[in-house]
Amino acid sequence: SDLQKQEERGELLQPLIFVLLVLCSVLLYFKVSLMDPGFVKSEEVEAGTSEEQSMVMPQVPSNIKMRRCGYCMVKQPMRAKHCQLCQHCVRRYDHHCPWIENCVGEKNHPLFIVYLSVQLVVLLWGGHVAWSGLYFEQSWGWLQHNVLLLMSFLLIVVFTMVVLLLLISHLYLISCNTTTWEFMSHHRISYLRHSELENPFDQGVILNLWRFFC
């Protein structure tokens, strides 16, 4: 049959890989959106928190103490922030993503980067497929028959640019060991405003990436 011949020629491999990538992207979306981003769950603070902070941020003045959240009344660890949409304090808070309806924080941030990467590959591949199906002709009949494909291609281009810019910005911030919240609100965060260094968390690009992903 034609299907068997296509399989023998390896023509079914690429569609199969594309479907698997789409499935992987969907699974990653639900995983990132449903998992705990690093909620501060209790009043208890780890015994080694102050020691760990002094090792990571030796330039921060000693008078910078953990403060109690005015919303959920828990003591916030360093780099945590309360999200009013999730109604929780989140460790190493980055931002609240409306696309996944969840915070991006300490636990799901690496997986969020993986999700963006897979989504970008899917969009680039889908854009290539849509573009290869377009044969331009200067006629009204051609436009009527290809309007949906053309609109799909333009929509893919828009989403691709959004995901690409988002991924690049996140990778840049990760390489600097900072978060979106810290980058945007540097002047309002006490442990950054009173630090002698502009970014006391920065330990070099390689070590920053290693500690984030590994």
* pLDDT, tens only, 67-79: 788 888 888 888 9
Residue 125's pLDDT is 93
- Within 8 A by CB and 6+ apart from 88, the residues are 39, 40, 72, 82, 103
pTM: 0.81
The active-site residue, picked from 97, 103, 176, 214, is: 97
* pLDDT, tens only, 121-171: 999 999 888 877 666 555 556 567 777 778 888 999 999 999 999 999 999
Closest by alpha carbon to 123, among 18, 193, 1, 51?
A: 18
Active-site annotation holds for 97: yes
Q: Where are the domains of the chain?
A: 2-36+105-213
| φ, ψ of residue 82 in degrees (nearest 5) | -85, 130
- Are the C-beta atoms of 177 and 202 separated by less than 8 Å? yes
What are the contacts of 58-65 at 24+ separation with CB within 8 A?
Answer: 58/200, 59/195, 59/196, 59/197, 59/200, 60/191, 60/194, 60/195, 60/200, 61/194, 61/195, 64/190, 64/191, 64/194
Q: Which residue has the tokens 């609109």?
A: 151
- Are the C-beta atoms of 107 and 92 separated by less than 8 Å? no
Given a cut of 50, is residue 53 above it in pLDDT?
Answer: no
